[in-house]
Structure 1
């Protein structure tokens, strides 16, 4: 087998991006997550053999069907790491490599993933850090390590790999590192996200971004 499957875990749309409240209301946050998910899926589809979305949310799974990807119903009561392990367990007899990608990194659409995917066929462990010390990409053999997604997961995954005798390769990309959690992240999408569905949606909300010299680098407002 020389195939690679993409795994995207997605939480409930109704819980989408609460840290962006009250800048965006619930309906706007749900639509934002859908736009980001569409960018991630459309980027992965051409470079992997299958894309799998795992979620416990019926609305997410219905939306995933519209995106024409495989879906897995997350087992009741599971958390992110166990949901990803469930998806990898489903994949392990079908493919030798998986790439795990979060649903909220729309600038991945600005990258060329093909060389990374090709490298993963020869390497045991490739990890992409997030800007906050987390993990925004993981290319591994299914179930090769225990999942440590959450706060500061980058070094936890590195240590897990080393404990398993694997040689972690770091792929550091600004576009992959940016997950959208706070309003300043929205500003980054407005600056760098030309051509993405996410920026197109944010434009429809009349969002503006200014460069400032204060405690924050960007000022994000709505007309």
Structure 2
């Protein structure tokens, strides 16, 4: 039973990417998340045995079915870490490893995710950090450690793994570290996201980017 399942937790579409307001409207932020989900699932379909999107939002679950991936209804009174524990419990006994990955890493196809998964087949624990100290990918056996997603989760996950006797492998990747939360992140997608649905969507909104030398590296505007 040498399988790997991918788990993607997704919050309500109506709560999508509020930090991008007012640069993007509520409807635009929802469509952005849909484009990113399409990029993430499209890449993973070729590499994992099953993709599971867990959410309490009926719109999210319906969209997941359009993407032809499996769904799991998140329990009531849950949160991100509880939802991930729920999904891992569901996977236990069905697969040897789970890949936990967020919905907002549209450049996943630009990194060597195939290599990451191959490395993880021989390891107990593999983690990909996000910029800012978070976690943008985690490969472990189901329920292998306690979930600590939130602020500075990377170090917490590493410490939990070490406490369990695992030897964490850290895989640094610029593309995988880029989760989309700010307008500057949108600029990075415009620069590096050739061939992705996410970049195509941003282009449809007439978003443009230029390099600047100031507090921020990129200036992102709309025509």
**TM-score > 0.5 by shorter chain:** yes
TM-score by length of 2: 0.99
SS in structure 2 of the partner of residue 208 of structure 1: strand
Deviations 1:141-171 (A, max 9, x none): 0001000000000000000001111100001
SS in structure 2 of the partner of residue 93 of structure 1: coil
SS in structure 2 of the partner of residue 90 of structure 1: helix
Distance 1:78 1:136 in 2: 21
Distance 2:216 2:120 in 1: 37
SS in structure 2 of the partner of residue 11 of structure 1: coil
CA RMSD, 1 decimal: 0.5
Aligned to 1:115: 115
Distance 1:48 1:25 in 2: 34
Distance 2:167 2:177 in 1: 21
User: What is the deviation of 1:109?
Assistant: 1.7
Aligned to 1:161: 161
Aligned to 2:46: 46
Distance 1:21 1:107 in 2: 22
Report how many aligned residue pairs link the two structures: 223
SS in structure 2 of the partner of residue 220 of structure 1: strand
Say whether residues 1:149 and 2:149 are aligned partners. yes
TM-score by length of 1: 0.99
Deviations 1:102-144 (A, max 9, x none): 0000010212211211111110000000011000000000001
> Is there any run of 5+ residues in structure 1 with no aligned partner, and where?
none
Structure 1 runs of 4+ aligned residues shifted over 6 Å read none
SS in structure 1 of the partner of residue 128 of structure 2: strand
> Is there any run of 5+ residues in structure 2 with no aligned partner, and where?
none
Deviations 1:29-78 (A, max 9, x none): 00000000100000111000000000000000000000001100000010
